[in-house]
Structure 1
Amino acid sequence: MINLFVTTVFAKGFYGTKEAGSIGLENAGQYLQKKFGGGLFPILYIWGVGLLAAGQSSTITGTYAGQFIMGGFLNLRLKKWVRSLITRSFAIVPTIIVALFFDRSDSALDTLNEWLNVLQSVQIPFALVPLLTLVSKEQVMGVFKIGTNTQIVTWMVAALLIIINGYLLLDFFSSEIRGLLLGSFVSAAIAIYASFIIYLILRGSEFATRLFSEIRKRFS
């Protein structure tokens, strides 16, 4: 919800303006203060608190999820504090290294942020598709398996998210990639990536299997 508010405020304030291309992590608060003013609650500090809350939410939930998943899948039989230290280090240590040693100039931080967004966009299908596949299987979820109507809605939402992120990826790479050879390599990688996502959906989803089976029956 916080991320939605952040995106909405920036879209309202800066979309289509000449300042949009120069706004980054370093000066976003100042631009918001200039655009929307201060008053009783200065927007600069509201932005700072919101950004901190969003970062804390992402970091804490991601760290806990990684801890529980790694502890369960790897069956780590260690003391709780040792298990927590190991699993959380996979999330925290790379962040600390980047914060300490990465180039801290405005342009470098903005570039890093852009590539992190690209990485998240690439990874989203590999989180959504397995999740929806597992919660749709009775042998995994038992009585907590989601119903057919819920499956339809969730798969439609997942497809919409994947399409939106795919469009953003294409837009990003089309502006960043130069040269025929590199462009051909990226195009081939995107084709393989899209094919693998389709394979995951068709291979693991009971709903997709039933849907394509019904389509074949109707047209055979």
Structure 2
Amino acid sequence: MGLVNAGEYFQERYGGGLFPILYIWGIGLLAAGQSSTLTGTYAGQFIMGGFLDLRLKKQLRSLITRSCAIVPTMIVAIVFNRSEASLDVLNEWLNVLQGLQIPFALIPLLTLVSDEELMGVSKVGPVMERVVWTLTAMVVVINGYVLLEFFVSMVSGVLFGLVVCTGAAAYAAFILYLISYGSAVRGFHSTRFPMLRSKGFAYAGN
């Protein structure tokens, strides 16, 4: 089963009647693609317009950021649009890369929104903080297990197995470092980056 025939497989196994799994699968793929593209595009646009302090016209900025998102996607689609098997390989490795990157997006984000000195009244509450950290830990552990299983399935020798084990250990160590570093520097961001306070990420009275 691959990306091309996954919708038909789900429809035959779980669909039928008033439960159009095939269309739900298609809408889900479209929504996932739009979500990731919009997130990357807006992130690049906000960085260019704020944190990097680059002064560009909105039209030019939109053209640059959207080109950075769309052009590589078109190139990859053209290169891998040779067979269904190549598309499945591409999709598999994209999922692997996304799984690898999840902790590096979630942990710094949760560290920042949990910092009262930085976020002020917008800081998440203690209950919500525990919930999101618990969910993040679950996501990281599940992704780590899936990634380890994926790479172990590709092991064909002792040397490659050693490389996989070393990479997994380094990956886990870096995640622990992110968590410990975030806890150590909490409350330090707004003094080091005063621009964040001037942009409204602090107490309403400041």
Higher relative contact order (CA 8 A, sep 6+): 2
Work out whether residues 133 and 206 of structure 1, in 8 Å CA contact, stay in contact via their aligned partners in 2.
no
Q: In the alignment, which residue of structure 2 is the partner of 1:101? A: 79
- The one of 114, 117, 133 equivalent to 2:111 is 133
Length-normalised TM-score, structure 2: 0.79
Measured at CA, do residues 41 and 70 of structure 1 come closer, stay the same or move farther in structure 2, by a change above 3 Å?
same
Aligned mates of 1:164, 1:44 — CA distance in 2 = 26
What do residues 169-200 of structure 1 show as CA deviations (whole Å, max 9, x unaligned)? 11101101221112212211221111111111
Identity of aligned residues (%): 66
Structure 1 residues 80-89 or 63-72, which shifts more? 63-72
Work out whether residues 128 and 158 of structure 1, in 8 Å CA contact, stay in contact via their aligned partners in 2.
yes
Structure 1 residues 199-208 or 104-113, which shifts more? 199-208
Q: In the alignment, which residue of structure 2 is the partner of 1:28? A: 6
Structure 1 residues 84-93 or 45-54, which shifts more? 45-54
Letter in 2 for 1:24: G
Q: How far 1:39 sits from its partner (Å)?
A: 5.4
Q: List gaps (5 residues or longer) in structure 2.
A: 187-206
Q: List gaps (5 residues or longer) in structure 1.
A: 1-22, 209-220
Structure 1 residues 143-152 or 47-56, which shifts more? 47-56
Paired residue total: 186
Q: Does 1:78 align with 2:63?
A: no
Letter in 2 for 1:52: L
Alignment root-mean-square deviation, CA = 2.4
Work out whether residues 137 and 206 of structure 1, in 8 Å CA contact, stay in contact via their aligned partners in 2.
no
Aligned mates of 1:47, 1:145 — CA distance in 2 = 36
Structure 1 residues 171-180 or 85-94, which shifts more? 85-94
Q: In the alignment, which residue of structure 2 is the partner of 1:122? A: 100
Q: In the alignment, which residue of structure 2 is the partner of 1:167? A: 145
What do residues 98-129 of structure 1 show as CA deviations (whole Å, max 9, x unaligned)? 11122431111111111111101110000011
- The one of 87, 93, 96 equivalent to 2:65 is 87
Q: Does 1:68 align with 2:46?
A: yes
Work out whether residues 121 and 169 of structure 1, in 8 Å CA contact, stay in contact via their aligned partners in 2.
yes
Work out whether residues 136 and 206 of structure 1, in 8 Å CA contact, stay in contact via their aligned partners in 2.
no
Q: How far 1:134 sits from its partner (Å)?
A: 0.6
Structure 1 residues 138-147 or 117-126, which shifts more? 138-147
- The one of 36, 48, 51 equivalent to 2:29 is 51
- The one of 162, 171, 176 equivalent to 1:198 is 176
What do residues 61-83 of structure 1 show as CA deviations (whole Å, max 9, x unaligned)? 33223322343222221111111
What do residues 131-183 of structure 1 show as CA deviations (whole Å, max 9, x unaligned)? 01111112321221122222222111111111010000111011012211122
Aligned mates of 2:65, 2:126 — CA distance in 1 = 35
Length-normalised TM-score, structure 1: 0.75
